[in-house]
Amino acid sequence: MIQQATSTNPLFAHGTPPRFEEITPAHAKEAVPELLERASAEFSAFEEDVEPTWDGIFGRLRAIVEPLEYAWHVTGHLMGVRNSEELREVHEALQPQVVEFFTRMGQSAATYAALEGLVAGEAWAELDATRKRLVEKELLGMKLSGISLEGEAKERFNEIQKELAELSTGFSNAVLDSRKAYELVITDAADAEGLPETLRQTAAASAKGAGHEDATADAGPWRITLDGPSAGPFLMHSRNRDQREAVYRALVTVASEGEYDNKPRIERILTLRKEKAGLLGYNTHAEISLATKMADDVAAVDQLTAELRDAAMPKAEQDHAELVEFARSETGDATLELANWDVGFWSERMRETKYELSDEELRPYYPFPKVLEGLFAVTKRLFDVDVIAADGEVQVWQSDVRYFRIQDASGNDIASFYLDPYSRPEDKRGGAWMDNLIGRAPMADGGLRLPTAVLVCNQTPPVGDAPSLMTFGEVRTLFHEFGHGLQHMLTTVDVPEAAGIESVEWDAVELPSQFMENWTYHEDTVMSFAGHFETSEPMPKELFERLVAAKNYRSASGVLRQLYFGHLDMELHHHYDPAGDETVAEVKDRVVAISTVVPPLPEDHFECSFSHIFAGGYSAGYYSYKWAEVLSADAFSAFEEAGLDDDTAIVEMGHKFRDTVLAQGGSRHPMDVFTEFRGRGPSTDALKRHTDLV
């Protein structure tokens, strides 16, 4: 018998802002099994009398799964931002049951028959284009969920789904634990020379948190971790080559040895994905991935990769030759060869010399509160919406998390979002992401449930009385994630399955985020918020000009690095046979030979921390970043053609972008949406121009 949900458990309150301050692992342990039992019973009843109509299928299914999805989604979110041993244990225990239920839904013969009946029946002609698209996507999704399998094949498919989910969680946890297990504690002041003041402050604060109670920014000790805001600046600025080597080696061997070794998980994941593809009638996992993407097939991805690699490689080789020459000139060593841990250091020295520009010179002009103001101002200008601080209106999972509402030109609330800006390596995973916490949906009472997004970054935290002083890369990341949030929040689609980022093909989902990055180089936008955190003096114009001049500094090397990641992903998921003679290491060597200028170390196992493809949603899809960058560069070129100094034209173009890319979400194929905005299909010309590859 199904128990009635207890109102005291916050995970039962689906569709409302989560009561994050109250939620404990025990709540998930109680709520998820109960909601699973209820959803399972309701789904069984659904299968008994499902009607082949839109509301009879999608409406009822939404009502069945939303309570469970809410509880599980919030639990997964907390795994990323407030991780703990207790939460992990609960999540790992529940995950197989959750996967089993959703696998069952994806393999429901009754649902599949109802969908086919809807397509074949009279009701099909009455459906609008959005709903027809969703029905067709659902049919394909069910085929990929094993609907056509029977007997032992179906049983084996379900076993694979469960094991892959467990492997994914294990992979992610191993990366987090491996990163946490490393530290470099610097006690000699001479070894801290050259480190930026912000890094000295955060490293001293980290040391104090690790038990060095007397640590100060001036006297140390300083604790360097593998967290991005720590290791990244350290590799760029540390003058101690041996310590740079130690940190670099630790970074490229994360989760690749000992108790955290992910290599066996990688082999198992690739083996299972290959087997799963075979069960579904595909040759490779990549073919399954591309079946639901904007790109037509693997050949289209390979063509884009080759086109950009051919353009980038000569310039990347030139980049490196110039860097070696610069380092030799600076050191007086005419035979100096740069090791992998030298590249970041000398790249930063060359950038400082060539453009007289450094992150540390820029940081004081990027205090987090002012950057936020600027981000919200350009959002208002382009899309005619206001972002209103609403801290205290909802519970948050950590004291630094902010909450905001978005209002339209008439002052009506249309969306909201949480912003978790700072790095917390002790319990928060690295990277940056946007999550659709609550989706837009019509309500039974005729009202509208407004979308809520979660934006997570890992930027440098504030130290002492000073605000967070952001690197330019952190500013760009914030704009990027907000672009994702805008597509979720500014949707006008009232079909929940297609609202915001729902049903947007994976390789098009980065379009709004990468588009927003362009405004971090737009003078009027930047100069409206870049002010010194102590004096409020605006960023000097010549400093901004140096920033723009440095925009494409070693850009070919950056393009090549992304292509390397994407190419390796596709090779592992399309050409590699886990049962064959070639090893993962040999596949990597083959990709390295054509995609890198400075080859990785023999012991480099970056793939062991490549969470995007082994613990995230980017398997056989990492190319999506570059695919979407083509779209975003081409979209921004529409603003360039309109005239970036013409405010009227920019506003008009911004509204057009809002009404197409941001508003229509997954209601139409992304190629149709892009073509409506741009007036034609996408071209790589703008990306090549923007990254100086022409």
Per residue, the 3-state secondary structure of 552-605, as one string, reads: CCCHHHHHHHHHHHHHHHHHHHHHCCCCCCCCHHHHHHHHHHHHCCCCCCCCCC
Catalytic residue among 481, 502, 517, 629: 481
Sole residue written with tokens 């009506």: 412
Evaluate if residue 51 carries a pLDDT over 60: yes
Give the DSSP letter of residue 608. Answer: G
State how far the Cα of 505 lies from the Cα of 672, in Å rounded to an integer: 12
State how far the Cα of 594 lies from the Cα of 127, in Å rounded to an integer: 49
State how far the Cα of 199 lies from the Cα of 229, in Å rounded to an integer: 8
What is the average pLDDT score of the chain?
A: 94
pLDDT of residue 616: 84
Q: Provide the residue ranges of all domains of the chain, joining segments of one domain with +.
A: 10-148, 182-253, 259-267+280-357+555-622, 363-505, 625-690
pLDDT tens profile 225-243: 998 889 999 999 999 999 9
**pLDDT grade, residue 425 (50/70/90)?**
confident
Q: Give the SS3 label for residue 471.
A: coil
**Tokens for 680?**
């034609």
pLDDT of residue 617: 86
**pLDDT grade, residue 7 (50/70/90)?**
low
pLDDT of residue 89: 96
Burial of 671 (0-12, 13-18, 19+ CB in 10 A): middle
CB distance 326 to 350 below 8 Å: yes
Angle at which helices 109-120 and 129-144 cross, to 10°: 150
**Tokens for 129?**
């284009």
Evaluate if residue 3 carries a pLDDT over 50: no
Conformation bin of residue 392: beta by default, left when phi > 0, alpha when psi is -120 to 50: left
The torsion defined by the Cα of 275, 280, 281 and 283, in degrees rounded to 10, comes to -40
pLDDT of residue 431: 86
Q: Which CATH class is domain 363-505?
A: alpha beta
Sole residue written with tokens 């990641």: 565
Q: Which of 625, 630, 675, 661 lies closest to 487, judged by CA?
A: 661
Evaluate if residue 321 carries a pLDDT over 60: yes
**Tokens for 492?**
């006008």
pLDDT of residue 1: 31
Domain 259-267+280-357+555-622, CATH: 1.10.1370.10
Widest pairwise Cα distance in the chain: 81
**Tokens for 249?**
């080696």
Q: Region 562-586: what's the mean pLDDT?
A: 96
- DSSP string covering 271-305, please? HHHHHHHHHTT-S-HHHHHHTTSSS-SHHHHHHHH
CB distance 312 to 567 below 8 Å: no
Taking residue 409's Cβ as centre, other Cβ atoms within 10 Å add up to 10
CB distance 569 to 618 below 8 Å: yes
Q: Region 127-135: what's the mean pLDDT?
A: 97
Q: Which of 100, 30, 94, 3 lies closest to 11, judged by CA?
A: 30
Evaluate if residue 4 carries a pLDDT over 50: no
pLDDT tens profile 492-527: 999 999 999 999 998 899 999 999 999 999 999 999
pLDDT of residue 265: 98
- For strand 448-449 and strand 222-224, is the pairing parallel, antiparallel, or unpaired? unpaired
Q: Region 35-50: what's the mean pLDDT?
A: 97
Burial of 354 (0-12, 13-18, 19+ CB in 10 A): middle
CB distance 401 to 418 below 8 Å: yes
Q: Region 380-397: what's the mean pLDDT?
A: 97
State how far the Cα of 520 lies from the Cα of 528, in Å rounded to an integer: 11
* Alpha helix stretches (DSSP H) within 332-471: 340-355, 359-362, 368-383
Per residue, the 3-state secondary structure of 641-681, as one string, reads: HHCCCCHHHHHHHHHHHHHHHHHHCCCCCHHHHHHHHHCCC
Superfamily (CATH) of domain 10-148:
Endopeptidase. Chain P; domain 1 (1.20.1050.40)
pLDDT tens profile 594-627: 999 999 999 999 999 999 999 988 999 999 989 9
Evaluate if residue 429 carries a pLDDT over 90: no
Q: Give the SS3 label for residue 56.
A: helix
Evaluate if residue 6 carries a pLDDT over 70: no
CB distance 570 to 302 below 8 Å: yes
pLDDT tens profile 256-269: 999 999 999 999 99
**pLDDT grade, residue 210 (50/70/90)?**
very high
Evaluate if residue 5 carries a pLDDT over 70: no
pLDDT tens profile 68-78: 999 999 999 99
The set of residues, in sequence order, having a beta carbon less than 8 Å from that of 117 and lying 6+ positions away, is 52
- Is residue 497 flagged as an active site residue? no
CB distance 324 to 336 below 8 Å: yes
State how far the Cα of 308 lies from the Cα of 310, in Å rounded to an integer: 5
pLDDT tens profile 57-68: 999 999 999 999
pLDDT of residue 174: 96
pLDDT tens profile 27-41: 999 999 999 999 999
Q: Which of 415, 389, 410 lies closest to 492, judged by CA?
A: 415
The set of residues, in sequence order, having a beta carbon less than 8 Å from that of 528 and lying 6+ positions away, is 374, 377, 378
As a residue count, the chain comes to 694
